[in-house]
Amino acid sequence: AADFEHLNSTAMHLPLHHSRGPCSPVSVPSDLPFSAVLTHDDARIASLAARLAKAPSSSSARPAVTVASLYRANDDVDGVAASLASVPLTPGTSYGVGNYVTRMGLGTPAKPYVMVVDTGSSLTWLQCSPCRVSCHRQSGPVFDPKTSSSYAAVSCSTPQCNDLSTATLNPAACSSSDVCIYQASYGDSSFSVGYLSKDTVSFGSNSVPNFYYGCGQDNEGLFGRSAGLMGLARNKLSLLYQLAPTLGYSFSYCLPSSSSSGYLSIGSYNPGQYSYTPMVSSTLDDSLYFIKLSGMTVAGKPLAISSSEYSSLPTIIDSGTVITRLPTTVYDALSKAVAGAMKGTKRADAYSILDTCFVGQASSLRVPAVSMAFSGGAALKLSAQNLLVDVDSSTTCLAFAPARSAAIIGNTQQQTFSVVYDVKSNRIGFAAGGCR
């Protein structure tokens, strides 16, 4: 119970940790270079672009997974037969080390599991015993369906099995025992394959029965030491939509820096503390959260570009992208303005995809006030740690890069702000000072 906090009876309030933070329940190697974070971040960007283009991403495509070969054992799990179908997988998104984690309870009796929180993903899944093919190392024991009295496998004839194609962007498969098989694949070639299941999900003393999720039997790739992934996108199978009848169609979070603590709250919130921007409808991908960037200022001065440049690409807000991507014209103007305002600071060489770098650390440099404005009047007034990211012990870089096919507001710029996703009212709100 100490792992959870409760706002009131109509919301669930959970601690949220940066995967590389000191209080994180999952460990990331201390010697991991920041270039690895950027590599995985770029894979996520490529796969998001592929989703918007409705096409596979060549940089992250992987051979078709022969599901039949993953389950050769003759024994069944709760009656699930081992002979399965073979279907191709398409890339989704990347889950590297720049993510945020919380704990979710599952089963009866409930046991806690560390989950990556992601607004760009729909299906929630976690590793399940007996891990027929492969389970990555995780913090704590793997979930065993046999220990839960409320566990049930889901048949292929259910609407939820049919909904997997939109939730995972991959077709469902079916076992010879009529159990639905999900396949979730991600931009860096990570993937999870297993049985669609239902069980009681809980957060502290609050529980919801008949929660649909993936019970992973082959889970390979860059998920850190988390048990799995918590999907908060706009989809019938996401955690948000499944809990909405009980808690309402909204969630909020504060993404902590590596030195602060944050939260994830599902359900009601205090509407008076936020400034809002409307969610923008898009035919590109109706599960993602689109908003409209309307302007940026550096040291109080608007960037020297036409206002139409800000909306030259669709804009997504995403908890799993580390570095914000801007339309190229906007990025070039921002880079020039920030470099001009910091002309007294020694420049450093470019670092990976980051080309505006300085000698020093973000916390010790004098940086200009930078603000990002959105339609409707919402704004993010960025601190030095929202504007710059330390890439090693002696170098800090502008935490922005040019966009490909979509602009993306990433988690570095969102850190320490309270952000609410009010799906019912079709709006996203920002409030400063959300993390402790």
Instruction: Give me the chain's average pLDDT, please.
Output: 85
Structure tokens at 242: 């499944």
For residues 67 and 222, is the Cβ–Cβ distance under 8 A? no
* 20 against 378, higher pLDDT: 378
Alpha-carbon torsion 87, 93, 94, 95, what sign?
negative
pLDDT tens for residues 204-260?
Answer: 788 999 999 999 999 887 677 889 999 999 999 999 999 999 889 999 999 988 777
Q: Which residue type occupies 271?
A: P
CA–CA dist 90, 171 (Å, integer): 10
The pLDDT > 70 percentage for the chain reads: 84
CA distances from 425 to 44, 279, 408 (A): 28, 9, 22
Query: Whose structure tokens read 């109509």?
Result: 10
Domain covering 99-247: architecture: Beta Barrel (2.40)
Q: Are 298 and 337 in contact (CB under 8 A)?
A: yes
User: Mean pLDDT lowest for which of 7-11, 30-34, 258-262?
Assistant: 7-11
**Is the domain defined by 271-432 classed in CATH 2.40.70.10?**
yes
pLDDT at 169 over 70: yes
Is 99-247's fold the same as 271-432's? yes
- What is the set of active-site residues? 118, 318
Model pTM? 0.88
Residue 333 corresponds to which amino acid? A
Return the higher-pLDDT residue of 336 and 248. Answer: 336
Cβ-based neighbours of 2, under 8 Å, separated by 6 or more: none
pLDDT recorded at residue 12: 72
Q: d(Cα 43, Cα 38) in Å, to the nearest integer?
A: 9
Query: Which helix (H) or strand (E) segment is 301 a member of?
Result: strand 301-302
Give pLDDT, residue 121: 92
Domain ranges of the chain: 99-247, 271-432
CA distance 201 to 397: 41
Report, as an integer, the average pLDDT of 39-66: 66
Residue 44: predicted pLDDT:
85
Q: How far out from the chain centre does Cα 213 lie?
A: 17
Q: Measuring CA to CA, which residue among 5, 15, 2 is closest to residue 260?
A: 15
Between 28-42, 100-114, 340-354, 419-433, the lowest mean confidence (pLDDT) is in 28-42
Band (421; pLDDT cuts 50, 70, 90): very high
